[in-house]
Amino acid sequence: MDNKRELFQVLTRRFGLLNKNCCSVGAIDISSVQSHILYEIDKQTSPSMQQIADTIAMDITTFSRQIQTLIKMELVKKTPSSTDKRVFILSLTVQGKFVATTIDESMNAYLEEVFSHMNEFEKETVIRSIKLLNQAMSKSSVCCTPLL
Amino acid sequence: MDNKRELFQVLTRRFGLLNKNCCSVGAIDISSVQSHILYEIDKQTSPSMQQIADTIAMDITTFSRQIQTLIKMELVKKTPSSTDKRVFILSLTVQGKFVATTIDESMNAYLEEVFSHMNEFEKETVIRSIKLLNQAMSKSSVCCTPLL
DNA sequence: CCACTTACTTGCAATGTGCAACAAATAACT
DNA sequence: AGTTATTTGTTGCACATTGCAAGTAAGTGG
Determine whether the interchain pair B9/A130 forms a contact, defined as Cβ–Cβ distance below 8 Å.
no
Residue B8 sits at the chain A interface (C-beta within 8 Å): yes
Determine whether the interchain pair B108/A4 forms a contact, defined as Cβ–Cβ distance below 8 Å.
yes
User: Each residue of B89-146: pLDDT tens digit?
Assistant: 999 999 999 999 999 988 888 889 889 989 999 999 999 999 999 888 888 766 554 3
Q: How much of chain B, in percent, has pLDDT values that exceed 70?
A: 92
Least CB-CB distance to A136: which of B15, B118, B148? Answer: B118
CA distance to A3, A7, A83, A99, B46, per residue, from A130 (Å): 18, 14, 39, 26, 35
Q: Which of A55-64, A69-78, A135-144 has the lowest mean pLDDT?
A: A135-144
What string of DSSP letters covers A21-36?
A: HT-EETTEE--HHHHH
Nearest nt by C1' to A78 Cα: C8
Domain boundaries, chain A: 16-139
Spacing of B84 CA from D18 C1' in Å:
39
Beta bridge partners of B16: none
pLDDT-derived band at A2, boundaries 50, 70, 90? low
How many CB pairs below 8 A link A and B?
153
Q: In chain A, what is the straight-line distance between the N-terminal and C-terminal CA atoms, in Å?
A: 29
Residue B19 sits at the chain A interface (C-beta within 8 Å): yes
For the cut 90, the answer to whether the pLDDT of residue A16 exceeds it is: no
Q: Which of A9-18, A77-86, A127-136 has the lowest mean pLDDT?
A: A9-18
The span from the CA of A19 to the CA of A8, in Å, is 16
Q: Which of A2-6, A7-11, B90-94 has the lowest mean pLDDT?
A: A2-6
Among all residues of chain B, which has the CA nearest to that of A144?
B17
Q: What is the pTM of this model?
A: 0.88
**Cβ proximity of A38 and A30 under 8 Å:** yes
Which of B39-59 are b and which e, b meaning 16 or more Cβ less than 10 Å from the residue's Cβ? Answer: bbbbeeeebbbebbbbbbbbe
A76 sits in which H/E element: strand A76-80
Domain A16-139 has CATH 2.60.40.10: no
